[in-house]
């Protein structure tokens, strides 16, 4: 079937209405790189947890003007069917990646040709502001041209509904069905109609800033410690357009921009990857931060939905925090301040993904706040906000992949507001001469020492796709009975939507949508989750371990114990030296 798809797609692009440059590139790849050509044509790009995302190049499995145009026509057809007799409006934004502005213009051209009014940001802007603009301008949809934190070869296309959140089922499938119904470029309306295009900018910026400023819980602490030294790097992305200004409006007076990474650059020329999750990406900022003696380092990815953080540890050195740590710190700070100020009304909730630390759960329970677990992907947190709207008040959402959302005026993870709130927390802790790591250790004493590690393996192309499918099948058919000496007590299979209890063999339903995720829970409260990435050619292993921390004095001992347990789990799963071979 895949071979037939490849031949059909290849012939279609060679003889169809595609520009000469595209057809010349196909012929070049056919001669010089048949493996890449096969990967570019054996399937069509699909909407995953982050929308349409892929390597830029020719072919239906690549991001180019034709796949962008096809997706946009599909969105247009979907909107026309679902909002008949309405004047349709769509907000469009783009990040700093190569071709992002061009793909945004292609998007606007197709939408306007379909008689849909477009609000196009006149300059690059972060994805959370796009989500905000959809709601502020009462749009039917929003489109963001970005590949988030992916390598420079990638670009992508995030689609948002009229609530400012990315589409989930069944809407995402409905959009894809409309895209799949387009069999030729002749079905796409390409001719731009300028009468349907309006540029937006400062006015939306200011309204967004006003909403972010309203999140502040301790202006007195900021006023007292307004001069804490903050180093910020946008990692060549969109954050430079808003975050320095947002921090200034919050009241911070000593924000330093990392000059060499300040300019938008789709090649991300000073970093190995535009992902603040990776230590190598943060090294320049860490070195500069030590040189300048800063209190806090903040970084954001190209579309500014992920936040990287480094702060002073007990030895006075800058140390990186991971996404679970930052989410836990912000969650605790917000809930504790709302509690102190007696602002709870009894129907608040927080949300997290199933691969995010359970420390968030413990914090929520302590403050008598409801917690909700959702599938990986912030769109599922946004789905809960919409589902509970009018009945329950959303407070905070976090995911281990460095994403947080404070408040509900945005419906995707928002590093702009997260940076402001993290800076406020540092300022507030400075009142008692505490650091983020001091607070984190206190949380571990009070709620349990949770430690997590993510191990990702990249497997590119069709061969990689096949391997990942086989590996997931192997773990399903031959699940481990013990992992590093601890019995597996339950298996959570989100594809079959069942939890199986190993001792009794009884099972119960998982009340979440189907997803290709496996989770093993052991007797000593370790949790191992395995899932293919929805946005990259990767398979991911999330390892979570837990121990009691009797006192802060025991931190080093327990930390080492947890590190050794993680390494033991990796050895038990045979992922300590790469991925295991699969016997045919």
Least confident of 96-100, 181-185, 229-233: 181-185
33 located within any domain? no
Cβ atoms 235, 274 nearer than 8 A: yes
For residue 397, the model assigns a pLDDT of 98
pLDDT at 2 over 80: no
CATH number at residue 161: 3.40.120.10
| Cα–Cα distance measured from residue 93 to residue 2, given in angstroms and rounded to the nearest whole number | 34
332 located within any domain? yes
258 located within any domain? yes
Cα 437 to Cα 124, 314, 338, 431, 447, distances in angstroms: 35, 7, 22, 15, 15
97-135 burial: b if 16+ Cβ within 10 Å, else e = bbbbbebbbbbbbbbbbbebbbbbbeebbbbbbbbbbbb
34 located within any domain? no
Among 200, 222, 239, the domain boundary falls at 200
Judgement on whether residues 229 and 165 belong to the same structural domain of the protein: no
For residue 1, the model assigns a pLDDT of 41
pLDDT per residue as tens digits for the range 386-417: 999 999 999 999 999 999 999 999 999 999 99
Pairing label, strands 141-145, 318-321: unpaired
Judgement on whether residues 386 and 415 belong to the same structural domain of the protein: yes
Judgement on whether residues 417 and 553 belong to the same structural domain of the protein: no
Pairing label, strands 403-406, 527-532: unpaired
**Own/partner pairs, 558-564, CB within 8 angstroms, 24+ separation:** 558/449, 559/449, 559/451, 562/449, 562/451, 563/451
Neighbours of 46 (CB within 10 A): 16
195 located within any domain? yes
Judgement on whether residues 132 and 155 belong to the same structural domain of the protein: yes
pLDDT per residue as tens digits for the range 545-567: 999 999 999 999 999 999 999 99
Judgement on whether residues 426 and 500 belong to the same structural domain of the protein: no
Judgement on whether residues 559 and 462 belong to the same structural domain of the protein: yes
Judgement on whether residues 398 and 480 belong to the same structural domain of the protein: no
pLDDT at 4 over 80: no
pLDDT per residue as tens digits for the range 279-327: 999 999 999 999 999 999 999 999 999 999 999 999 999 999 999 999 9
* Adjacent-strand bridge partners of 300: 307
Q: State which residues form the domain around 250.
A: 209-447
Judgement on whether residues 464 and 407 belong to the same structural domain of the protein: no
CATH number at residue 461: 3.30.310
Instruction: From 226, 233, 271, select the one nearest 250 (Cα to Cα).
Output: 226
Average pLDDT value over all residues in the chain: 95
For residue 580, the model assigns a pLDDT of 86
Helices and strands in the chain, H and E counts: 18, 23
pLDDT at 463 over 90: no
pLDDT at 50 over 60: no
Among 447, 466, 498, the domain boundary falls at 447
For residue 52, the model assigns a pLDDT of 86
pTM for the model stands at 0.95
Among 393, 420, 447, the domain boundary falls at 447
Active site residues: 148
Q: What would the two tokens of residue 207 be? A: 């309204």
| Cα–Cα distance measured from residue 251 to residue 271, given in angstroms and rounded to the nearest whole number | 30
381 located within any domain? yes
Judgement on whether residues 391 and 463 belong to the same structural domain of the protein: no
How is residue 495 annotated by DSSP? T
Instruction: From 377, 305, 380, 302, select the one nearest 146 (Cα to Cα).
Output: 302
Cβ atoms 264, 96 nearer than 8 A: yes
Judgement on whether residues 190 and 49 belong to the same structural domain of the protein: yes
pLDDT per residue as tens digits for the range 469-491: 999 999 999 999 999 999 999 99
| Cα–Cα distance measured from residue 405 to residue 398, given in angstroms and rounded to the nearest whole number | 7
Judgement on whether residues 430 and 519 belong to the same structural domain of the protein: no
328 located within any domain? yes
Judgement on whether residues 265 and 304 belong to the same structural domain of the protein: yes
536 located within any domain? yes
How many domains, the chain?
3
pLDDT per residue as tens digits for the range 269-291: 999 999 999 999 999 999 999 99
């Amino acid at each position: 079937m895949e071979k037939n798809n490849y031949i059909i797609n290849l012939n279609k692009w060679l003889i169809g209405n595609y520009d000469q440059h595209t057809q010349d590139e196909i012929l070049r790849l056919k001669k010089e790189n048949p493996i890449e050509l096969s990967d570019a044509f054996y399937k069509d790009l699909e909407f995953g947890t982050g929308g349409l995302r892929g390597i830029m190049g020719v072919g239906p499995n690549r991001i180019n003007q034709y796949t962008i145009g096809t997706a946009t026509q599909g969105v247009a057809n979907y909107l026309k069917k679902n909002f008949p007799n309405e004047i349709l409006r769509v907000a469009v934004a783009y990040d700093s990646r190569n071709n992002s502005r061009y793909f945004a213009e292609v998007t606007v051209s197709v939408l306007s040709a379909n008689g849909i009014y477009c609000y196009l940001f006149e300059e690059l802007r972060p994805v959370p502001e796009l989500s905000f603009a959809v709601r502020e301008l009462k749009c039917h949809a929003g489109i963001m041209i970005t590949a988030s934190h992916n390598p420079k070869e990638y670009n992508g296309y995030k689609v948002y509904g009229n609530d400012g959140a990315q589409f989930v089922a069944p809407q995402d499938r409905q959009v894809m069905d409309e895209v799949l119904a387009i069999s030729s470029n002749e079905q796409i309306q390409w001719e731009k109609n300028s009468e349907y295009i309006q540029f937006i900018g400062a006015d939306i910026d200011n309204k967004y800033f006003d909403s972010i400023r309203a999140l502040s819980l301790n202006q007195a602490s900021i006023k007292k410690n307004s001069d804490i030294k903050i180093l910020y790097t946008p990692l060549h992305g969109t954050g430079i357009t808003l975050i320095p200004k947002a921090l200034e409006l919050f009241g911070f007076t000593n924000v330093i921009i990392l000059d060499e990474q300040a300019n938008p650059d789709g090649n991300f020329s000073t970093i190995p990857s535009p992902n603040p999750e990776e230590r190598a990406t943060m090294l320049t900022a860490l070195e500069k931060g030590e040189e300048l003696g800063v209190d806090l380092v903040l970084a954001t990815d190209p579309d500014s939905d992920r936040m990287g953080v480094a702060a002073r540890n007990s030895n006075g050195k800058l140390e990186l925090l991971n996404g679970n740590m930052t989410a836990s710190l912000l969650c605790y700070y917000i809930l504790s301040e709302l509690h102190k100020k007696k602002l709870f009304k009894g129907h608040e909730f927080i949300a997290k993904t199933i691969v995010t630390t359970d420390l968030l759960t413990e914090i929520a329970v302590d403050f008598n706040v409801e917690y909700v677990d959702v599938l990986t992907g912030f769109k599922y947190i946004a789905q809960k906000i919409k589902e509970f709207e009018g009945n329950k008040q959303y407070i905070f959402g976090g995911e281990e992949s460095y994403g947080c959302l404070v408040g509900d005026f945005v419906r995707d993870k928002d590093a702009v507001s997260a940076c402001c709130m993290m800076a406020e927390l540092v300022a507030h802790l400075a009142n008692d001469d505490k650091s983020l790591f001091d607070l984190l250790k206190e949380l571990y004493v009070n709620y349990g020492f949770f430690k997590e590690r993510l191990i990702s393996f990249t497997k590119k192309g069709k061969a990689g796709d096949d391997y990942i499918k086989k590996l997931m099948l192997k773990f399903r058919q031959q699940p481990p009975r013990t992992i590093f000496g601890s019995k597996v007590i339950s298996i959570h299979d989100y594809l079959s939507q069942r939890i199986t209890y190993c001792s009794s063999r009884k099972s119960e339903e998982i009340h979440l949508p189907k997803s290709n995720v496996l989770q093993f829970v052991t007797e000593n409260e370790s949790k191992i989750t395995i899932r293919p990435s929805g946005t990259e050619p990767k398979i991911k292993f999330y390892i979570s371990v837990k121990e009691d921390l009797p006192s802060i004095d025991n931190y080093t001992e327990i930390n080492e114990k947890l590190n050794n347990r993680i390494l033991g789990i990796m050895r038990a799963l045979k992922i300590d030296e790469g991925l295991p071979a699969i016997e045919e």
